Amino acid sequence: MSIASPPTDHRERVRTNYLNHSYGVKSWLLTRDHKRIALLYLASVSFFFLLGGVFALLIRLNLLTPAGDLFSADNYNKLFTMHGIVMVFFFLIPGIPAVLGNFLIPIMIGAKDLAFPRLNLASWYIYILGALFTLYAILSGGVDTGWTFYTPYSTTFSNTYVTAAGLGIFITGFSSILTGLNFIVTIHTMRAPGMTWFRLPLFIWSLYATSIIFILGTPVLAITVALLAIERTFHVGIFDPALGGDPVLFQHLFWFYSHPAVYIMVLPGMGVISELIANMSKKNIFGYKFVAFSSIAIAVFGFLVWGHHMFVSGQSVYAGMIFSFLSYAVAIPSAVKVFNWTATLYKGSISWQTPMLYAIAFIGLFMIGGMTGLFVAALGVDVHVTDTYFIVAHFHYVMVGVTLMAYLGGLHFWWPKITGRLYPELWAKIAALIIFVGFNLTFFPQFLLGYLGMPRRYHMYPPEFQVLHVLSTAGASILGIGVLIPMVYLIWSMRYGKIAPPNPWGAAGLEWRTSSPPPVENFLETPHVTWEAYEFAPREELEIIGKVSVDDRAG
Amino acid sequence: MSEHIVSRKIYFSVFGALLCLTALTTFIAFQDLGPFNIVVALAIALVKASLVVLFFMHVKYSSRLTKLIIFAGVFWFFIMVSFTFADYYTRGWITHPHP
Amino acid sequence: MGTWLPFMPEQASTVASRVDNLYAFLVATTIFFTVLISSTLLFFFVKYRRRSEHTIPKPIAGSIKLELLWTIIPFCLAMVMFFWGASVFFAQYRIPENASDIYVVGKQWMWKFQHPEGQREINELHIPLGKRIRLTMASEDVIHSFFVPAFRMKQDVVPGPNRYEQMWFEATKPGAYHLFCAEYCGTNHAAMIGTIYVMEPKEYAKWLNGGATEGTLTQKGEKLFTDFGCITCHKSDGSGRGPVLEGLYGKQQQLTTGEKVLVDDNYIRQSILSPGSQIVAGYQPIMPSFQGRISEEQLIQVLAYLKSLAPQQPTTGGPTENPVPIDTTNVGKK
Amino acid sequence: MSTEATHKKGAHAALAHHFEDLEQQREAGSLGMWTFLVTEIMFFGVLFMAYSLYRSMNPEAFAIGSGFLNVELGTINTGVLICSSLTMALAVWSAQARKDKKLIIIFVALTMLLGMTFLGIKFTEYIHKWDEHLIPGLDFQYHGPFAGKVEMFVYFYFVMTGIHAIHMIIGLGLMTWILVKAAKGRFSPEYHAPVELVGLYWHFVDVIWIFLFPLLYLIDRHLPPIH
Ligand code: HEA
Ligand code: HEA
Ligand code: CUA
Ligand SMILES: [Cu+2]
């Protein structure tokens, strides 16, 4: 362990941290500090989660009755479209990378900031600009194409604000691209001395893999929605068969991005879980290199499977076979991760605090969500279940059950670092339990519905499906309450929570070796890393970098 | 890792080559090579692009990482093209195998 | 054959049980792995719970053997799923010989059917039990998807001037089954539903004879052939300005570009809707496009008529001896 | 921000607070630019793929469409762009090897001039298309064989060259910024990363054109024109 010579006035310096070293709206809106930008993202992403959640609750309410009495068909169609768009593009994709990633990457690798701080702030503004376009589309009447924007419905037949929503997604795409670029460059060039690739926390590896997808996938979506907007506006183009185009080409391009995008959503979550599992059980990750490289493998192979969304679309059956085969191939690295996480717990010292609960829930739900991915990757079964609630259940298991759990778990785990306050443990446990129960009650019945043949995007349905729909709606209300509780107590804790020590978990990792909340420059001096990832040590040895002893805490 | 300064001579020769190749590709376009017109046109374009990338953009003297990044970009483009074309060119096969 | 797992729709087609068997295998694998992982997790969770803040467990680096084990076993299982899935898929999509034709048009927001015998139905389809049915489907506007849960079959119907989609099934159980549109297609997507009635062959025959029709598809097509003036250019004695269409179906046609293409449903569709895109060798591109003038249903009638002109096909509608080629698009032909 | 303290006194003025030294900063910049160019490959890649797909389906139509384009202007423009690549390369060279800021200014200005020439010629071509009523979607007056697919070709022409032109305009903007900085004497053999990065971008735009030119202008030129 490196023990640095103490700076003379460290107590003074640590007392100013990134939160209190300057005040005022301007100091936030013009900040270039990655930690503050992360908080800007946290606020905006949470807003969109609530918005998408409200849409979800309205969807579920409407489906209480077979006749769908609450909303007209058109309004229902707009609801699920806007729910999908908001949740995917404005909550889940930026979620973990732009909030936790932004906050943690520089600290975890021992840098002062991301490589391009101004670009980082610009990404947030671009995100907001895209969001404004989308909000405009929502407020002025909505969009009804489904989040998939399939042509020729979107180019020619829909009478809603497709162009505005498309522009919103086009613009937000650049925010993703710039964030990914920033992460890649940062991880390559800004690592502290001694922080070799294999000493990086696995969260960094997973974000590196995510950034690869941002970089290579997002431009494809951007230009595709741009072409769609042109086609819609000028009635000339390449997707509408009436103009000589092929609608299936749109599907290829859309999924070329959007399948990898589902790994954008899950990889950061897997990174978070690796951190939680290791730190909450004080064990190094079993098979570090396998977990690290499986992230990269998922990112790379994830680009080869997009056609599995198109098995019955009129795509060639042979192409369907290739895509099915590769979908199975990409499932293997995920399996490797699951087994390694499980093995990590063996002979650990497992804490029962909230982040660990989320981690366990994550793995269990990922089993179901991921394995049902294998159902739909099986050509013969997908023919039956595609475009039914089976798919809806599959992707909510992986997106809500997995990524949302990881996000919440991560938020709890790093909350003391981010805010300098502890959250109330009891409430957190209660909320985690409610969310888990509500979640399963919401989405498990949907698997059954789907196999029974209930198609998705249906505003009304044959009465025999009602029982399962009512169960699902009941679950959604529980889930809704469940996710509101953390929102309340986390906000409460910012003011009234107990003051957090620098390392409340006894965790390894550079972010725990600076004060909570960290100073503007993250560390009082550039760390020199001499230890491996997840090298746990008794508390006394895990010191703040640039300080002499642990008792001498700041704050 | 200090940077490599490319000499002006190299720049001018690359420049000359690029102009010649442009003339050549235009000239060849007016000759009948059957199916090879497009092949030759793309081959020349590829050579020109490589010249620009290697010398004007200094990739010949750059780190492995830079080369890897470029390779990734081009490779992913080919993934997109080949898998999409794989669909289009096998669509009718299930009932009447391709001649 | 009944449904032997709860929460399964009726099994009413020849492929249904194959799909369900694969599904059951997948369910079993999932339960196995989920129980395995979850119980291990919970066991560790309890057994190795934190007893003291100060213990630092001994690090364990990993084990190549274990890694290999849990790479290879899932991979093998995954391959089983892949091959099994693909084989079911081919059973679903390879159109068998001797299938009876029924023509389907999807439009916002209804399904329209035409039987070769001339019956027309909307959102209801009557089919005989135990007979292979081949659907030839076209869309008038956006993408729809023909989905019959009891048959475990689904196919998107993509619009386009050269696009007929085909699918097939053979019903194994009389009854009434849901028909859904499974691809989102606008406002009343959820109302684009219908019922498939599977009838004993005798009753089906009765049903066929029951409704009054204005003639078979072929007869209607023949009439349209005159009404639209096709006959002025396409004369059977070869004296017209267009090629003779007798015996055309199923043959290889030479185009001006020198390539040869197979004359199938898609080719004929394209020849009528956008004649300019493929010109027969030796002819001028003078044929006008009938896009917008001929409805999808009329197009099907003309198609049935032209098919009936091919010598190797005695009549359309009845079981055909020759497999009818499908081709979703004309790319790929060089 | 009171962050300058973290750098030793005498650090280069252009060194940002969060980098250790100029070398790290330069490496980050160049890596960032290359990564960005990869996103551009994918961005244009979609257009190239869609183009190839439809061309392989409709070779005749695309040949007819290509016949509407002006090969002379296309060839000249290719030459102009190659010249501008050379001057750009020389601008980078003068930043790397010469202390003289005048040289940078001259070469960057020349590059901009050539870039604007290119855009001028491109614009003339667009005007011609307008006059010939060959604007897809708005005013497309061609009724020969394969009319629909010919329109699609012209659509590809406008979209691909249009997006390319937008990239050029952005490039010109960046060069103006370089010009200002150079005039203020900010560049030196130690610090000239911005010149280099803008150079990379400009060359990339050139590479795209190198492919656009044969694909759009040179289809089946040996055949007698059909229209
Ligand atoms: C976070 C998002 C996420 C994730 C991680 C996944 C993961 C996977 N998905 Fe999913 N998927 C979506 C989000 C996601 N998906 C969405 C949003 C849609 C629908 C979009 C729409 O249409 O609106 C969709 C749709 C979808 C389809 C198309 C269905 C259809 O529309 O017809 C398919 C088909 O193959 C598929 C497959 C898979 C597979 C094989 C995985 C694999 O990566 C899963 C791998 C994981 C495991 C396998 C679990 C761990 C395994 C073990 C512990 C051991 C046992 C393993 C074996 C025996 C192999 N998904
Ligand atoms: C990140 C992605 C994400 C997330 C988190 C969710 C979350 C949820 N989704 Fe979503 N969903 C999608 C992505 C997501 N979904 C996508 C991509 C589609 C496909 C769209 C398409 O077909 O195009 C879809 C479609 C979809 C459908 C299918 C609609 C249809 O096909 O007809 C349903 C139906 O039950 C549903 C339900 C839910 C529910 C109950 C939640 C719950 O988990 C939500 C829980 C959250 C809350 C309940 C919020 C709590 C807030 C409050 C209680 C209100 C307080 C308000 C204020 C303070 C202002 N979703
Ligand atoms: Cu037709 Cu949905
Ligand atoms: Cu997918």
Which 3-state string (H, E, C) describes A473-496?
HHHHHHHHHHHHHHHHHHHHHHHH
Closest CA to D124 of D156, D155, D165, D85: D165
The dihedrals phi and psi of C289, each to the nearest 5 degrees, come to -80, 140
Contact check, Cβ <8 Å, C332/B89: yes
Would you tell me the crossing angle of helices A317-345 and B64-88 to the nearest 10 degrees?
Answer: 130
Closest CA to D194 of D180, D211, D208, D210: D180
Ligand nearest to C-alpha A94: 2
What's the burial of C46, exposed, middle or buried (CB within 10 Å: 0-12/13-18/19+)? exposed
Chain C interface includes B89 (CB < 8 A): yes
The dihedrals phi and psi of A150, each to the nearest 5 degrees, come to -60, 135
Place of tokens 């409610």: A434
Residues A337-351, mean pLDDT to the nearest whole number: 94
Q: What is the ipTM of this complex?
A: 0.91
Is residue C330 within 8 Å of residue C162, measured between CB atoms?
yes
Q: Is the pLDDT of residue A14 over 70?
A: no
Q: Is the pLDDT of residue C316 over 50?
A: no
Give the model's pLDDT for residue D204.
96
Cα(A484) to centroid(ligand 2), Å: 14
Is residue A115 within 8 Å of residue A189, measured between CB atoms?
yes
The residue with greater pLDDT, D45 or C248, is: D45
Q: Is the pLDDT of residue C83 over 80?
A: yes
Contact check, Cβ <8 Å, B77/D48: yes
Least confident of A72-76, B84-88, D21-25: D21-25
User: How many Å apart are CA A141 and CA D198, to the nearest integer?
Assistant: 42
Q: Is C292 left (phi over 0), alpha (psi -120 to 50) or beta?
A: left
For residue C26, give the nearest of A336, A348, A374 by CB distance.
Answer: A374
Least confident of A267-271, D114-118, D138-142: D138-142
What's chain C's average pLDDT?
Answer: 85
Least confident of B20-34, C2-16, D66-80: C2-16
**Ligand 1 atom at shortest distance from the alpha carbon of A392:** 19
CA angle A386, A391, A396 (to 5 degrees): 165
CA angle D90, D92, D94 (to 5 degrees): 70
User: Beta-carbon neighbour count of residue C53 at 10 Å?
Assistant: 11
Closest CA to A73 of C143, C184, C159: C184
User: How many Å apart are CA A322 and CA B85, to the nearest integer?
Assistant: 13
Give the model's pLDDT for residue A367.
95
The residue with greater pLDDT, A163 or C297, is: A163
User: How many Å apart are CA A73 and CA A78, to the nearest integer?
Assistant: 9
A301: closest CA of chain C, how far (Å): 15
**Is the CB of C181 within 6 Å of ligand 3?**
yes
User: Beta-carbon neighbour count of residue C273 at 10 Å?
Assistant: 21
Buried b (16+ CB within 10 A) or exposed e, D131-144: eeebbbbeebebee
Ligand nearest to C-alpha A73: 2
- C-alpha distances out from residue A410 to A274, A416, B47, C153, C219, Å: 10, 11, 50, 42, 70
CA angle C320, C325, C328 (to 5 degrees): 140
Ligand nearest to C-alpha A482: 2
Mapped onto helix, strand or coil, the DSSP state of residue C144 is: strand
CA angle C314, C318, C320 (to 5 degrees): 65
Cα(C65) to centroid(ligand 2), Å: 42
Nearest CA in chain A to B86: A319
Q: What confidence tens digit (pLDDT) does each residue in A99-152 have?
A: 999 999 999 999 999 999 999 999 999 999 999 999 999 999 999 999 999 989
**Is the CB of C176 within 6 Å of ligand 1?**
no
A318: closest CA of chain B, how far (Å): 7
**Is the CB of C184 within 6 Å of ligand 3?**
yes
Give the model's pLDDT for residue B98.
33
Q: Rounded to an integer, what is the distance from CA A145 to the centroid of its chain?
A: 24
3-state helix, strand, coil in chain D (%, to 5): 75, 0, 25
Place of tokens 């609630």: A389
The residue with greater pLDDT, D36 or B33, is: D36
Return the DSSP state at A55: H
Give the model's pLDDT for residue C328.
37
Return the DSSP state at D152: H
User: How many Å apart are CA A397 and CA A373, to the nearest integer?
Assistant: 10
Closest CA to A453 of C25, C26, C11: C11
Q: What confidence tens digit (pLDDT) does each residue in A22-38 have?
A: 888 888 999 999 999 99
Give the model's pLDDT for residue D101.
83
**Is the CB of A443 within 6 Å of ligand 2?**
no
Give the model's pLDDT for residue A542.
67
Interface mutation target, options D85, D87, D99, chain B, most CBs of B under 10 Å: D85
Give the model's pLDDT for residue A4.
42
Residue A357: HSE in the Cβ half-sphere, 13 Å Cα cutoff: 19
For residue C276, give the nearest of D56, D59, D145 by CB distance.
Answer: D145
Would you tell me the crossing angle of helices D59-67 and D147-183 to the nearest 10 degrees?
Answer: 60
Give the model's pLDDT for residue B4.
76
Give me Rg for the CA atoms of chain A: 23
Tokens at C244, concatenated:
């003779």
Nearest CA in chain D to A117: D18
Q: Is the pLDDT of residue A508 over 50?
A: yes
Least confident of A326-330, C306-310, D194-198: C306-310
Residues of C within 8 A of A157 (CB-CB) are 108, 141-142, 186
Cα(A249) to centroid(ligand 1), Å: 22
Q: Is the pLDDT of residue D11 over 70?
A: no
Closest CA to A515 of A5, A13, A8, A100: A13
What's the burial of C104, exposed, middle or buried (CB within 10 Å: 0-12/13-18/19+)? buried
User: How many Å apart are CA D119 and CA D112, to the nearest integer?
Assistant: 10
**Is the CB of A154 within 6 Å of ligand 2?**
no
Is residue C146 within 8 Å of residue C111, measured between CB atoms?
yes
Return the DSSP state at A27: H
Q: What confidence tens digit (pLDDT) does each residue in C112-151 have?
A: 999 988 888 999 999 999 999 999 999 999 999 999 999 9
Give the model's pLDDT for residue C250.
80
Tokens at C272, concatenated:
């009528």
CB proximity under 8 Å: D 53-82 to C: 56-60
CA angle D151, D152, D153 (to 5 degrees): 90
User: How many Å apart are CA C286 and CA C289, to the nearest integer?
Assistant: 9
User: How many Å apart are CA A447 and CA A435, to the nearest integer?
Assistant: 19
Q: Is the pLDDT of residue D216 over 90?
A: yes
Contacts 24+ apart (CB under 8 A), C234-243: C241/C283, C241/C284, C241/C286, C242/C283, C242/C287, C243/C280, C243/C283
Residues of A within 8 A of C82 (CB-CB) are 324-325, 328, 377-378
What's chain A's average pLDDT?
Answer: 92
Tokens at C151, concatenated:
């048959």
Residues of A within 8 A of C75 (CB-CB) are 332
Q: Is the pLDDT of residue C257 over 80?
A: no
Q: Whose CA is nearest to atom 43 of ligand 1?
A: A331
Is residue A448 within 8 Å of residue C5, measured between CB atoms?
no
Least confident of A32-46, A320-334, A442-456, C216-230: C216-230
Q: What confidence tens digit (pLDDT) does each residue in A422-446 have?
A: 999 999 999 999 999 999 999 999 9
- Name the helix (H) or strand (E) containing C89: helix C64-93
Is residue C104 within 8 Å of residue C146, measured between CB atoms?
yes
Strands C100-107 and C132-139: parallel
Residues of B within 8 A of D88 (CB-CB) are 56
Cis previous bond, D194, omega within 30: no
**Ligand 1 atom at shortest distance from the alpha carbon of A366:** 49
The dihedrals phi and psi of B87, each to the nearest 5 degrees, come to -65, -55
A32: closest CA of chain B, how far (Å): 27
Q: What confidence tens digit (pLDDT) does each residue in D170-207 have?
A: 999 999 999 999 998 888 888 888 999 999 999 999 99
Mapped onto helix, strand or coil, the DSSP state of residue A21 is: coil
Tokens at C168, concatenated:
């097939």
Return the DSSP state at A97: I
Chain D interface includes B79 (CB < 8 A): no
- C126: which strand partners? C197
Give the model's pLDDT for residue C120.
87
As a whole-number percent, the residues of chain B with pLDDT over 70 amount to: 91
First to last CA, chain C: 47
Tokens at A41, concatenated:
């993202």
User: How many Å apart are CA A227 and CA A230, to the nearest integer?
Assistant: 5
CA angle A502, A101, B65 (to 5 degrees): 120
The string of DSSP codes covering A120-156 is HHHHHHHHHHHHHHHHHHHHTT---STTTT-TTIIII
Q: Is the pLDDT of residue C315 over 50?
A: no
User: How many Å apart are CA A309 and CA A315, to the nearest integer?
Assistant: 10
Ligand nearest to C-alpha C193: 3
Residues A349-370, mean pLDDT to the nearest whole number: 95
All residues with CB under 5 Å from ion ligand 4? A 259
**Is the CB of A334 within 6 Å of ligand 1?**
yes
User: How many Å apart are CA C313 and CA C101, to the nearest integer?
Assistant: 13
Q: What confidence tens digit (pLDDT) does each residue in A464-484 have?
A: 999 999 999 999 999 999 999
**Is the CB of A373 within 6 Å of ligand 1?**
yes
Residue type, A540: E
**Is the CB of A419 within 6 Å of ligand 1?**
no
As a whole-number percent, the residues of chain A with pLDDT over 70 amount to: 95
Overall size of chain B counted in residues: 99
Q: Is the pLDDT of residue D100 over 70?
A: yes
